[in-house]
Amino acid sequence: MSLLDVENLRVSFDTRQGVVEAVRGISFTLGQERLGIVGESGSGKSMTGRAILRLIRPPGRVEADRMALEGEELQSLSERQMRKVRGRRISMVMQDPKFSLNPVMTVGEQIMEAYLLHARDSRRAARRKALEMLEAVAIRDPERVMKAYPHEVSGGMGQRIMIAMMLIPDPRILIADEPTSALDVSVQRRVLSIMDTLVRERGMGLIFISHDLNLVSEFCDRVLIMYAGRIVETCEAARLHEARHPYTRGLLNSLPRLDQPQDRLEVLARDPAWAGGDA
């Protein structure tokens, strides 16, 4: 059985300038696999993730024909039941780590809190677990980082702390929104390998949101490409470079390449027709 089943998901915002449709009817299923979602800024990637966790506040509206976690319809759960789902069964690494961490609480306390919220365990054990997790995400000197406040860690460390925090309750599904955008390749690999182990050994489902096409094509099993709130193309990750949609090609071409220096990078020329195209 698939872990997550989404059918015809729509997210819209009522604003004074009219209705903004951030996600316009997307459907996908997630098994015990690594599913990538790529797309340019504003294409609705984060909104998809937030909608699944029901984290969209008014004036945002979420509608879906079906949104089932292991067969259980998420839309019919009460807010209280939903709180139990968040973190323990589905957790999400938010895009903006520094924004999502509490600025006046130490990193260690926040990770321990995330753990203790879901596991009945002593503070000692929570501390040990938190240290282990920080070490796992390749943080040097985890003892010091435990005692640091969010503004005292670097951009990439903040991102890894967020990942540690979301993995510590051992969720069934992890939605990772740009989790590695501030990491260099070596650390990125370490972090990806943890997620990978969880997918393979514990059967976790991973939704990996990113704008890094190469990374997604290497790391994921399947990729959804979003444009203006729709899925314009779905393909095997390894075949991403053969993608046909002009938008995907455009994204691929705008990458700078070390082995082929260029004077100017290609900039994506958007075609309004893409937005209308069917998934």
Ligand X SMILES: Nc1ncnc2c1ncn2[C@@H]1O[C@H](COP(=O)(O)OP(=O)(O)OP(=O)(O)O)[C@@H](O)[C@H]1O
**CB nearest ligand X: which residue?**
156
Q: Between 116 and 228, whose beta carbon lies closer to ligand X? A: 228
Stretch in the footprint of Mg ion (CB under 5 A) among 44-52, 96-104, 224-232, 252-260? 44-52
| Whole-angstrom distance, CA of residue 229 vs CA of residue 232 | 9
Binding test (CB under 6 A) with ligand X, winner from 43, 100, 188, 248: 43
* Partner from other proteins, ligand X, Mg ion, none contacting 257, C-beta within 5 to 8 A by type: other proteins
Residues 38-54: b if buried by 16+ CB within 10 A, e if exposed: bbbeebbbbbbbbbbbb
Q: How far is the CB of 183 from ligand X (least distance, A)?
A: 7
CA distances in angstroms from 248 to 24, 95, 123, 264, listed in the order given? 19, 22, 48, 19
**Residue from the set 155, 197, 202, 271 that interacts with ligand X by CB under 6 A:** 155
From 80-88, 109-117, 168-176, 184-192, give the range in contact with other proteins by CB under 8 A.
184-192
Separation in Å, CA 186 to CA 103, 191, 195, 276: 28, 9, 15, 40
Q: How far apart are the first and last CA of the chain?
A: 23
β-strand pairing of 34-39 with 205-210? parallel
How far from 223 is each of 1, 16, 156, 209, CA to CA, in Å? Answer: 20, 35, 25, 10
Residue found under tokens 């900039």: 267
Q: Of 62-70, 76-84, 117-125, 136-144, which segment contacts other proteins by CB under 8 A?
A: 136-144
Does residue 155 belong to the site contacting other proteins (CB under 8 A)? yes
SS3 26: strand
Check if the beta carbon of residue 231 is closer than 8 Å to that of residue 26. Answer: yes
Q: Name which position in 123, 155, 203, 255 contacts Mg ion (CB under 5 A).
A: 155
Task: Check residue 95 for interaction with Mg ion (CB under 5 A).
Answer: yes
Tokens of 185: 């390749």
What character string, x for contact with other proteins (CB under 8 A) and - otherwise, covers 192-231?
Answer: xx--x---x----------xxxxx-xxx------------
Question: Interface with other proteins by CB under 8 A: which residues?
Answer: 15-17, 39-42, 96, 98-99, 103-104, 139-140, 144, 147, 151-157, 160, 178, 181-187, 189-190, 192-193, 196, 200, 211-215, 217-219, 237-239, 241, 250-252, 254-268
Question: Interface with ligand X by CB under 6 A: which residues?
Answer: 13, 15, 20, 22, 39, 41-47, 95, 152-157, 182, 211
Question: Interface with Mg ion by CB under 5 A: which residues?
Answer: 46, 95, 154-155
